[in-house]
Structure 1
Amino acid sequence: MSRIGKRPVALPSGVTAKIEDGKLVVKGSKGELSMSTSDLIDYKLEAEAITVTPANKSKQARQYWGMQRTLVQNLVDGVTEGFSKVLEITGVGYRAQAQGKKLKLQLGFSHDIDLDVPEGLEVKTPDQTTVEISGIDKQKVGQFAAEIREWRKPEPYKGKGVKYRGEYIFRKEGKKK
């Protein structure tokens, strides 16, 4: 029995949900998100909540149950509050600059890295070593943050690179004489 799946997803005031053409559509103050529904899961729209239950007693339906409930919760959270990730850049000469729908990174390569910001995301650089990514789709925010981090992961000796705010970098001791 899924402990996560058993709990209904509460719909705050101002948020509406409907199921049409095999999609669950959630509208809120920040926008509209949708996801395709699974045949293994039953979605019930109630007055102020969405209940997710397995459609049958198969193992696969029970495996999907908790994940589908979490995906529905992410839709509701996205249209009400949104999601954000903050990246910190450490290293001499490493910097970032947001220019409209582009993000310019200087990470020690012989060239600058110009990344196009995906649709629906907003990127800010309050200073040269901080990148704030925000949007209503949790998957898009996390994916774009991971793509930026992939260019220069933090190294264990000096900690230079791109890391998430609050991420712990295990440090190694340098070479001894």
Structure 2
Amino acid sequence: MSCLPQRCARQLIREPFQRGSLPLFLTPAFSPSRTQCFSTSSPMQSRVGGAAISVPPEVSLNLVDIPKSATRVRGKDVPKFTAEIKGPKGEMSLTIPSFLDVNYDAANSKATLSVSDSEQPHQRAMWGTTRALLQNHIIGVSEGHICILSMVGVGYRATIEFKATTVTASYPGQQFVSLKVGFSHPIELGIPEGIKASTPQPTRILLEGVDKRKVTQFAAEIREWRRPEPYKGKGIFVNGETIKLKAKKIK
């Protein structure tokens, strides 16, 4: 007897029914066109990749073809050319995927990227990513990228040293960042090539460089030695980083 209601429900679902053959309270549950919408707004896709990039007059942008013998990538995403960006701060290069085209208007100092098929998720994702990387390179060679690290804690200090006792130099003339962050010995980190580090204050570290990825990566490595903790608010903060303090545990 317990299986009878289940059999009736399965039969109602499988067989077509008329609206008048069911009770009114069962009609919404067995209606085939039942939909439930949680939002009334229509989905919108990001169009960051199609936005124009302004190129300063002191920056030169050149597109250089890549020979087939120099490419090691196989498949449809074989890069065809490289964008070379030169400015007063330095020079950088960016490999452009094959499904993207860079249109540079020297008269208006504008650069735009176009994609061959915007319906494919991979091409649409790389469209915005490549545009962001190209803009970061243009800003890097013209103005440069900076990261400011603030050290909060009793006795926390940082200095720039020309010699280190715990690590060896990876290139001639390398400098080192010496951190005093509560350990029994100072922490010495080699400054990567292409990055300039200074300490305007004993509790401030200023990192400057052309490549944004290298600058932020080195800042993350320094922050890893004393990540901000939520109880006393001590640690190494990057670029005005804030943290929400937790209430102290009271026994």
Same fold by TM-score, threshold 0.5 exceeded?
Answer: yes
**1:81: which partner in 2?**
143
Aligned match of 2:158: 96
Q: TM-score by structure 1 length?
A: 0.93
Instruction: Specify the alignment match of 2:114 in structure 1.
Output: 53
Partner Cα separation in structure 2 for residue 156 and residue 119 of structure 1: 34
Distance 1:59 1:114 in 2: 43
Cα deviations across residues 38-87 of structure 1 (Å, max 9, x unaligned)? 12211222212222111334331112111111111111111111110101
Aligned twin of 1:30: 89
C-alpha separation in 1, matches of 2:196 and 2:121: 40
Number of residue pairs matched by the alignment: 177
Question: More displaced, 115-124 or 15-24?
Answer: 15-24
Q: Judge conservation of contact 1:39–1:55 (CA < 8 Å) in 2.
A: no
TM-score w.r.t. structure 2 length? 0.67
User: Which amino acid letter does the alignment assign opposite residue 111 of structure 1?
Assistant: H
Task: Find the aligned partners of 2:217 and 2:113 in 1 and give their Cα distance.
Answer: 26
Cα offset, 1:2, TM superposition: 4.2
Q: Given the alignment of the two structures, is residue 40 of structure 1 paired with residue 99 of structure 2, yes or no?
A: yes
- In 2, the alpha carbon distance for the partners of 1:63 and 1:161 equals 35
Structure 1 runs of 4+ with >2 Å offset: 55-59
Q: Partner of 1:125: helix, strand, or coil?
A: strand
Which sits farther off after the overlay, 24-33 or 6-15? 6-15
User: 1 CA distance for matches of 2:126 and 2:51?
Assistant: 15
The residue number in structure 2 matching 1:129 is 203
Alignment of 1:137-156 (within 5 A): 137-156=211-230
2:88 partner amino acid: S
1-side partners of 2:235 and 2:121: how far apart? 43
With 40-49 and 127-136 compared, the bigger mean Cα shift is at: 40-49
Identity of aligned residues (%): 42
DSSP 3-state at the match of 1:96 = strand
SS of the residue corresponding to residue 137 of structure 2 reads: helix
Gaps of 5+ in 1: none
Q: Specify the SS of the correspondent of 1:50.
A: strand
In structure 2, the residue matched to 1:7 is 51
**Cα RMSD after superposing both structures:** 1.4
Counterpart CA distance in 2 for 1:10 and 1:62 is 21
Which one-letter code corresponds to 1:99 in the other structure? E
Which residue of structure 1 aligns with residue 179 of structure 2?
105
